Amino acid sequence: MPRINPVESPVTIEFEGEQLQARAGEPIAAALIARGELLFSRSAKYHRPRGPFCMSGGCGQCLMRVDGIPNVATCREPVTAGMRIERQNAMPDAGIDLLRANDFVFRDWFNHHEFMAGVPIAEELLLKIARQLSGLGLLPERPAEAREPAVIEHHERVIVGAGAAGLAAARHLTQHDVTYTLFERELHVGGRLISAAEPDQPTPWNAPARLGAEVVGLFNDAGQPFLAVIERGRLHLVFFKKVLLALGGHAMLPTFPNNDLPGVMSGRAVASLIRRHGVLAGQRVACVGEVTEARALADLVKRAGGEPLAIGEEVVRAHGLRAVTAVTTTQSGKVSCDVVATCGALSPAFELARSGSAEVTWNPEQRCFVVQADAHGQTANPAVFVAGEMRGPMASAAAAQQGDAAAAAWVVSR
C-alpha cells in the first residue's frame, strides 16, 4: 500500500458508506490516496473522472461532500474521527457515471452557445436537462451554526506566507528587532521547503507564525487596507500599515490530451504527499516536465519505495479510462504508470497583490503573469510588497533573497 509509514492510532472515517482508517489531521485527500483511491469526483459538463491535482486548494478537482457540506476541498480539509465523505455530481455514482455519455457525444467540446439554439421543443428540453445537470453538490442539509463575531486587528507589518520568501523576511526582521505578524495557511511553516522536490534546500527557519490562518482577501473599504483572514473557524479583519505578500504560486495544468485524468498531478502535489503526509500516490510515477524538479522528485519517489520513470520527459498524452494507466512521452513512447507528476513552474499567485493595486504584467520569457515590483519588492502601492514566486518562477534560494531584501527595506524605514 502507498503509506510510507504505518498510521499510529488511526481514526475511522466513512467514505461512500464504507468505513476506513485514516490519520487524524491529514487531508482527506491524502487518506483516500493512501487507500489507492484516485477517482474523487466527476467533472461539470462531460462527467469525466477527476482526482486531486494540486493538493493546495488551487483547483477544483478534489471536491466532495463532507458531513453534509458540498464542494469541500478534500486536499485541505483535515480528517477528524467519524467524518462522512461522499462523492458528488454523478449518476448513479462516480464509479460508473452514465452521464459520461456527454464526453463521448461531444468529442472535442460542447458548443453550449449554439447547440439546439432556437430549435423548437429541443431547445426547451435542453434547458430542462441543462438545469438538472448544472451545479456541483447539494445545498447544505442544515443551517450554519452562528460564528463568533469577526475579530478586528491592527498591525504595523504583516507577512502573508511562511515559505522560503516569507521566512527569510521574518528572520531578517527578527534579527533587527522589528516586530511583524506572519500568517501561514498550513499548520507548519516552510512552504515548499518542507513540501516540494527541489535540490539543495535549506532547513526552514522556525519563525513564530499564526498557523492555519488563510488570507482570503485584501480589501480596501473606505481607503483602509486590510486582510480578511480565516483562522480556526473565525474571520479576522487585519488592518496593516505594510504587507509583504509571499504566497508563491498555483500549480498549472499542462495542456495534453487526458491531462485531467485521476493520477495526473502536479509535481508539487506528489512531492508534498510524500514529504508532508507520508503517502506515495502510486507505485510507478512518471516524473515529467521540467528536468531539475523532475529529477529531485524522482529521488523522492525512489526513496519512498516507488518507481520513477520518464524523468524530465515531455508528455504527448496520458492514457486511461477511470485513472491514468500509461503515458506517452516524446522520448520513451508509451509506458505504463499509475501517476503522471507534471513538474514545472507555478503560476504566480498575483491575486492579492492586484487587489492591492499592484501592477501585474505578462512576462514573455517566463510566459506567465508576474507582479511588478522594485528591488525591495515594493509595488505600485507603497504599502504592498511582494517576494518570491509571485514575481515569477524562481528557486527557493532566490525567493529567500527577495524576502530578505523586502525586510531590509522595512528595517530601514522603521
Non-local CB neighbours of 391 within 8 Å, separated by 6+ positions: 348, 370, 371, 373, 377, 402
> Residue 163: how many CA atoms within 13 Å on its side-chain side?
26
CA distance 7 to 12: 12
Contact characters 165-204, other proteins, x per CB under 8 A: ----------------------------------------
Q: Which residues of 93-131 are buried (b: 16+ CB within 10 A; e: fewer)?
A: ebeebebbebbeeeeeeeeeeeebeeeeeeeeeeeeeee
382 is a site residue for other proteins (CB under 8 A): no
71 is a site residue for other proteins (CB under 8 A): yes
Are 242 and 385 contacting, i.e. CB atoms less than 8 angstroms apart?
yes
Among residues 194, 230, 395, 408, the one that binds other proteins under rule CB under 8 A: 230
Among residues 260, 290, 307, 314, the one that binds other proteins under rule CB under 8 A: 260
> Grid cell 452557445 — which residue?
113
Cell of 242: 505594510
Give whichever of 41 and 301 is closer to other proteins, judged by the CB atom: 41
214 is a site residue for other proteins (CB under 8 A): yes
317 is a site residue for other proteins (CB under 8 A): yes
Residues in 320-359 at the binding interface with other proteins, rule: CB under 8 A: 347, 349-352, 354-355, 357, 359
CA distance 341 to 270: 7
Among residues 12, 179, 224, 330, the one that binds other proteins under rule CB under 8 A: 224
Are 275 and 190 contacting, i.e. CB atoms less than 8 angstroms apart?
no
Closest CA to 79 of 8, 21, 24: 24
Residues in 354-373 at the binding interface with other proteins, rule: CB under 8 A: 354-355, 357, 359-364, 367-369
Give whichever of 76 and 295 is closer to other proteins, judged by the CB atom: 76
6 is a site residue for other proteins (CB under 8 A): no
Cell of 84: 462522512
Quote the least distance from Cβ 280 to other proteins, whole Å: 24
Among residues 1, 92, 200, 222, the one that binds other proteins under rule CB under 8 A: 222
Prior bond to 92 cis, omega within 30?
yes
Quote the least distance from Cβ 346 to other proteins, whole Å: 9
Give whichever of 379 and 405 is closer to other proteins, judged by the CB atom: 379
Quote the least distance from Cβ 193 to other proteins, whole Å: 22
For other proteins, which stretch binds (CB under 8 A), given 29-37, 213-221, 330-338, 402-410?
213-221
Residues in 92-151 at the binding interface with other proteins, rule: CB under 8 A: 103-104, 106-118, 120, 123, 126-127, 130-132, 134-150
Among residues 3, 10, 219, 291, the one that binds other proteins under rule CB under 8 A: 219
CA distance 190 to 163: 5
Non-local CB neighbours of 146 within 8 Å, separated by 6+ positions: none
> Grid cell 486587528 — which residue?
153
Among residues 3, 35, 45, 155, the one that binds other proteins under rule CB under 8 A: 45
Non-local CB neighbours of 300 within 8 Å, separated by 6+ positions: 197, 271, 274, 275
Give whichever of 111 and 179 is closer to other proteins, judged by the CB atom: 111
Give whichever of 102 and 174 is closer to other proteins, judged by the CB atom: 102
# residues near other proteins by CB under 8 A: 103
Quote the least distance from Cβ 304 to other proteins, whole Å: 26
Q: Characterize the bridge pairing of strands 151-160 and 210-211.
A: unpaired
Non-local CB neighbours of 397 within 8 Å, separated by 6+ positions: 164, 200, 202
Q: Characterize the bridge pairing of strands 181-184 and 151-160.
A: parallel
For Cα atoms 319, 265, 159, give the angle at the middle one, nearest 5 degrees: 165
Give whichever of 34 and 370 is closer to other proteins, judged by the CB atom: 370
For other proteins, which stretch binds (CB under 8 A), given 203-211, 224-232, 273-281, 301-309?
224-232
Quote the least distance from Cβ 111 to other proteins, whole Å: 8
19 is a site residue for other proteins (CB under 8 A): no
Quote the least distance from Cβ 353 to other proteins, whole Å: 9
Among residues 34, 63, 294, 373, the one that binds other proteins under rule CB under 8 A: 63
> Grid cell 498555483 — which residue?
250
